[in-house]
Structure 1
Amino acid sequence: MNPIVWAGGALREPGEPVVSATDHGLTVGDGIFETIAVRDGVPFALSRHLARLEYSADRIGLAAPEVEQVRDAVAAVLKAGEGALTRIRVTVTSGEGPMGSARGSGPATLIVTGVAAPRPRVCHAVRAPWKRNERSALAGVKSTSYAENVVMVEYARSKGADEAILANTYGNLCEGTATNVFVERDGEILTPPLASGCLAGITRGLALEWAVRAALPIRVTAPGELTMAVLDEAIEGRAHLAVTSSTRGVQHVSSLDGTELLPGALLRKLSAVYELAAEKDADPPVPHRR
């Protein structure tokens, strides 16, 4: 099935040009995006994804599109997909710009695409030899400047894996290239804090909320509490790992650096709690910012 594409206010034919050659999102990666899982024809947690899109836009000084415009575009793509789509991507760039880092005057480019890609069924991970810079201007931003992650995923693939897990510049556990990381250790579930430089994943946030509601022992760790040494504990069987993302849900890490890992009982419960809650509530409300 060809991707369904909406751009410039309308659905487009497959292969139809939709951006200028001088679009700043193309020339320098000046843009933001969201990837949204589609469950039974419904975009899951759409409100939270659009709230994060606005947050990312604000962080990089980009004018976010009107929420209703994005919702209408998503609805048009879903309708054209006739129930076959499994994933929606919303991309926003600053539009046409000069051949350099400085932005042009816009207007912004909005593209919504839908695909029928299979959901990843397993996660084989490796440790990345690179680090995430928690002090980067893009830390915590869902940016289209994704070449760094592409390099790391290709590294993982060269090792027979599909995900790479990163430390930050302090050597603390941070995240995967497209996932957040959860650790089961000593009778509780732990995940690195946003201060580590990891993305505020939509699935991460919902997993934390729904786990607390289900009385699972779960918490965000203090900065520096989870070092990369916890991955050695997982290989030794003293800890367990899972990753989270919109397309994976809460997924057990089946192997790390070529070593098979056993699933953790608490992480299995977390996955079950997440899936059950997601089936009941397709668009959880956006938490109020304090």
Structure 2
Amino acid sequence: MTDFSLIETLRYEPEAGFIRLRLHLARLVRSARRLGISGADGAQAALLAAVKAGDGGAALRVRLELFPDGHIEVKTAPFAPLPQDTVWRVRVASTRLKSGDPLLRYKTSRRAAYEAARGEFGPSEADEVLLLNEKDEVCEGTITSVFLDDGSGILKTPPIACGLLAGVLRTELICQRRARVARLSLNDLARGDLYLGNSLRGLIRVNLLV
């Protein structure tokens, strides 16, 4: 039995329901199958039950956790979107990810590297923190995927092989051909407009402080 759980964090809107639900469920089922965790087939019912039991008339942040023994816990909290003109201050962590670690492509409760990176800067210093791997390749934020607009008309996002999560927003943009994978360095990020994003909040404009 594994010593970690699988996590999906979704956005629920009263009119639209769960945003990107199909992609979230597909990732959870795929991850559970590959890691030998049972119970993923009960995720959708658990999500619907949690919303029904809470305030289904308001936007929610919904966190689902699938534990190694197959049981599921769902927690909800009110969700307020960021203003459209939000620009996050982002700094680069000295903490490094290991590109050869296969678990990085899954969203799990193993968060030590991300917590260490986030802990390098206080809330007044950075809204999010960017992680590189041992080759100094750009990977991801602590809770976000990386997207670079270099003026080509298609966003660039680092490949999974660099050591990063297969984010749901990232997957959607690649499938829509609005993004493609490309290895990125910090120098590359200075040659265009940088965005971070996840399925909960969408794309967020970034001011990279180095």
Report the equivalent of 1:88.
62
Residue 133 (structure 2) pairs with residue 168 (structure 1): yes
User: Aligned partners of 1:174, 1:161: CA distance in 2, in Å?
Assistant: 17
User: Aligned partners of 1:142, 1:77: CA distance in 2, in Å?
Assistant: 21
Contact preservation (8 Å) 1:140, 1:197: yes
Report the equivalent of 2:21.
46
Identity %: 28
Q: 1:88-135: CA deviations, max 9, x gaps?
A: 1110111xxxxxxxxxxxx42210111103234432211111111121
Contact preservation (8 Å) 1:180, 1:201: yes
Contact preservation (8 Å) 2:95, 2:131: yes
Post-superposition offset of 1:158: 5.1
User: Aligned partners of 1:191, 1:155: CA distance in 2, in Å?
Assistant: 24
Q: Which amino acid aligns with 1:207?
A: L
Report the equivalent of 1:55.
30
Aligned partner of 2:201 among 228, 242, 248: 248
User: Aligned partners of 2:101, 2:94: CA distance in 1, in Å?
Assistant: 18
Task: Flag as ranges the 4+ runs of structure 1 deviating above 4 A.
Answer: none
Report the equivalent of 1:204.
170
Report the equivalent of 1:285.
none
Aligned partner of 1:180 among 142, 145, 149: 145
User: Aligned partners of 2:106, 2:46: CA distance in 1, in Å?
Assistant: 22
Local SS of the residue matching 1:54: helix
User: Aligned partners of 1:256, 1:156: CA distance in 2, in Å?
Assistant: 14
Which runs of no fewer than 5 residues in structure 2 stay unpaired?
A: none
TM-score by length of structure 1 reads 0.64
Alignment of 1:197-236 (within 5 A): 197-210=163-176, 212=177, 218-221=179-182, 225-231=183-189, 233=190
Report the equivalent of 2:76.
114
Post-superposition offset of 1:203: 0.6
Post-superposition offset of 1:49: 0.6
Q: Which amino acid aligns with 1:246?
A: S
User: Aligned partners of 1:54, 1:157: CA distance in 2, in Å?
Assistant: 35
Residue 209 (structure 2) pairs with residue 257 (structure 1): yes
Indicate the structure (1 or 2) with the bigger Cα radius of gyration.
1
Q: 1:1-30: CA deviations, max 9, x gaps?
A: xxxxxxxxxxxxxxxxxxxxxxx99xx5x1
Q: Which amino acid aligns with 2:81?
A: R
Aligned Cα root-mean-square deviation (Å): 2.2
Post-superposition offset of 1:196: 1.2
Closer/same/farther in 2, CA of residues 208 and 88 from structure 1, 3 Å limit: same
Q: Which has the higher strand share?
A: 2
Aligned partner of 1:36 among 10, 21, 35: 10
Q: Which amino acid aligns with 1:173?
A: V
Which runs of no fewer than 5 residues in structure 1 stay unpaired?
A: 1-23, 95-106, 259-290
Local SS of the residue matching 1:139: helix
Q: How many residues align?
A: 204
Post-superposition offset of 1:60: 2.6
Contact preservation (8 Å) 1:182, 1:242: yes
Report the equivalent of 1:65.
40
